[in-house]
């Protein structure tokens, strides 16, 4: 088994050497893709800024519309209350005028009736007097009235004028609207409905603003904690992978945690560069591994799967990475796809795929050491 492993190791080393050229070409392609991704990211940020501006403008317009609706509803309510007050006043005035006209009409009718009764009575008296005068004195009525009639206390013209005036006052009153109370009740119901709708709208707006504020606060809180933990772990891991070097995570917009991005800065020892695009392939690989391990340590997981993360590393940097991974496997299970012999020696169990003589692939495994269950 050791001989087979040695042969396979040599073969894998040959394939690794031949694959380094491909890795370098892939790194160059990744560099170009990174530059294109940066341009696309800038475009997306610009588009996001435009969208945010449009959303802000829409929110301002919606708020203005809501305020206009509230003002219109309030004006309509005030107008309805004013109309109700005017109608109440008019109704009271009409009722008062109706009572006055009714009293006046009743007095006029009583007066007319009394005048009619008095006229009839006097007419009968006159007829009796005329009959008696003709019978007893043979004097005609006209001659009797011309010679003997006293002053008349009944003013017929004044009575007629009073009756005509009462009729004109009754005509000016016009027809009484019997539906005034129903119309007022309908307006009052409409006003109550509008008030309830306005209160519902205000309550919904308050609830939405509260939910948005709570979600934003929660997102900012979770992101801030995760960023702080990851940045702290990243700085520590970079110092271990680049002895004498330094690295950090930088927020692109620290004042806006909901829209900020994260820039990764790394400076190997003896270099002044900070941007990943200016680092070599191995240095970029170490920086990427440091960032992944920082995330793993900030937010641990039961297991991790790594696929040839150390392919571009030399023996010295590989040893540093294995030391960091050794700390991770104390609390988590690591599944590593690799062609590096030292990484295989670091493992507890090896799994490989080999082709048998009949052309069928088979899986082989070899346990190198026993470990306590985590």
The confidence score (pLDDT) of residue 242 equals 83
Q: Of the ranges 114-123, 151-160, 233-242, 288-297, which one carries the lowest mean pLDDT score?
A: 151-160
**Contact criterion met (CB below 8 Å) for 231 and 223:** no
Chain-wide mean pLDDT for the chain? 81
In sequence order, the 6+-apart residues with CB closer than 8 A to the CB of 297 are: 233, 237, 328
Token representation of residue 118 = 């008095």
Instruction: Identify the bridge partners of residue 364 per DSSP, sorted by sequence position.
Output: 352
Confidence of residue 176 (pLDDT cuts 50, 70, 90): low
The confidence score (pLDDT) of residue 373 equals 44
CB atoms near residue 234 (< 10 Å): 25
Instruction: Give 306 or 274, the one with higher predicted confidence.
Output: 306
pLDDT beyond 70 at 35: yes
Token representation of residue 116 = 């009619």
Q: At what angle do helices 180-241 and 281-298 cross, to 10 degrees?
A: 120
pLDDT beyond 70 at 273: no
pLDDT beyond 60 at 263: yes
How much of the chain exceeds pLDDT 90, in percent? 7
The confidence score (pLDDT) of residue 114 equals 78
pLDDT beyond 60 at 150: no
The confidence score (pLDDT) of residue 144 equals 58
Token representation of residue 189 = 């119901």
Confidence of residue 166 (pLDDT cuts 50, 70, 90): low
Q: Of the ranges 32-36, 155-159, 293-297, which one carries the lowest mean pLDDT score?
A: 155-159
Nearest to 241 by CA among 316, 135, 297, 131: 316
pLDDT beyond 50 at 310: yes
pLDDT beyond 50 at 164: yes
Residue corresponding to tokens 């003589």: 357
Confidence of residue 203 (pLDDT cuts 50, 70, 90): very high
Q: What is the mean pLDDT of residues 278-293?
A: 83
Q: What is the mean pLDDT of residues 257-278?
A: 78
Q: What is the mean pLDDT of residues 136-162?
A: 61
The confidence score (pLDDT) of residue 200 equals 92
Confidence of residue 159 (pLDDT cuts 50, 70, 90): low
Predicted confidence (pLDDT) per residue in 89-138, tens digit:
888 888 888 888 888 888 888 877 777 877 788 778 777 777 776 665 55
pLDDT beyond 50 at 364: yes
Residue corresponding to tokens 């169990």: 349
Q: What is the mean pLDDT of residues 169-192?
A: 79
Q: What is the mean pLDDT of residues 68-92?
A: 84
CA distance 249 to 98: 89
Q: Of the ranges 150-159, 241-250, 329-338, which one carries the lowest mean pLDDT score?
A: 150-159
Q: What is the mean pLDDT of residues 59-69?
A: 82
Q: What is the mean pLDDT of residues 190-214?
A: 91
Confidence of residue 374 (pLDDT cuts 50, 70, 90): very low
Q: What is the mean pLDDT of residues 12-38?
A: 77
The confidence score (pLDDT) of residue 155 equals 63
Nearest to 322 by CA among 313, 81, 54, 331: 313
The confidence score (pLDDT) of residue 194 equals 93
Q: Which residues of 26-64 are buried (b: 16+ CB within 10 A; e: fewer)?
A: ebeeeeeeeeeeeeeeeeeeeeeeeeeeeeeeeeeeeee
CA distance 227 to 248: 11
The confidence score (pLDDT) of residue 192 equals 92
Q: What is the mean pLDDT of residues 36-63?
A: 81
């Amino acid at each position: 088994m050791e001989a087979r492993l040695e042969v396979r190791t040599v073969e894998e080393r040959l394939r690794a050497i031949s694959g380094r050229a491909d890795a370098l070409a892939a790194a160059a392609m990744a560099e170009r893709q990174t530059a294109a991704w940066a341009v696309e990211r800038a475009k997306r940020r610009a588009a996001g800024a435009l969208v945010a501006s449009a959303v802000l403008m829409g929110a301002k317009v919606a708020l203005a519309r809501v305020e206009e609706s509230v003002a219109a509803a309030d004006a309509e309510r005030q107008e309805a209350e004013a109309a109700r007050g005017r109608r109440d006043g008019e109704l009271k005035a009409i009722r008062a005028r109706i009572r006055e006209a009714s009293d006046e009409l009743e007095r006029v009718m009583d007066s007319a009736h009394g005048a009619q009764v008095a006229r009839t009575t006097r007419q009968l008296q006159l007829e009796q007097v005329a009959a008696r005068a003709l019978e007893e004195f043979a004097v005609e009525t006209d001659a009797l009235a011309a010679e003997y009639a006293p002053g008349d206390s009944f003013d017929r013209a004044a009575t007629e004028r009073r009756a005509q005036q009462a009729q004109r006052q009754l005509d000016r009153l016009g027809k009484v609207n019997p539906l005034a109370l129903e119309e007022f009740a309908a307006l009052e119901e409409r006003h109550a409905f509008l008030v309830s709708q306005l209160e519902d709208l205000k309550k919904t707006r308050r609830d939405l603003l509260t939910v948005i504020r709570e979600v934003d606060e929660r997102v900012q809180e979770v992101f801030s904690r995760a960023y702080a933990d990851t940045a702290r772990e990243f700085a520590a891991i970079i110092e271990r992978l680049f002895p004498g070097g330094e690295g950090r995570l930088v927020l692109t917009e620290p004042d806006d945690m909901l829209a900020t991005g994260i820039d990764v800065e790394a400076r190997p020892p003896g270099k002044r560069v900070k941007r990943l695009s200016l680092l070599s392939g191995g240095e970029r690989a170490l920086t990427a591994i440091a960032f992944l391990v920082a995330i793993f340590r900030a937010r641990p997981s039961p297991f991790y799967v790594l696929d040839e993360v150390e392919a571009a590393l030399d023996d010295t940097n590989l040893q540093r990475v294995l030391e960091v991974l050794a700390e991770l496997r104390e609390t988590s299970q690591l599944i590593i796809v690799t062609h590096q012999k030292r990484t295989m020696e670091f493992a507890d169990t090896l799994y490989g795929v080999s082709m048998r003589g009949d052309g069928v692939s088979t899986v082989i495994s070899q346990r190198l050491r026993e470990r306590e269950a985590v």
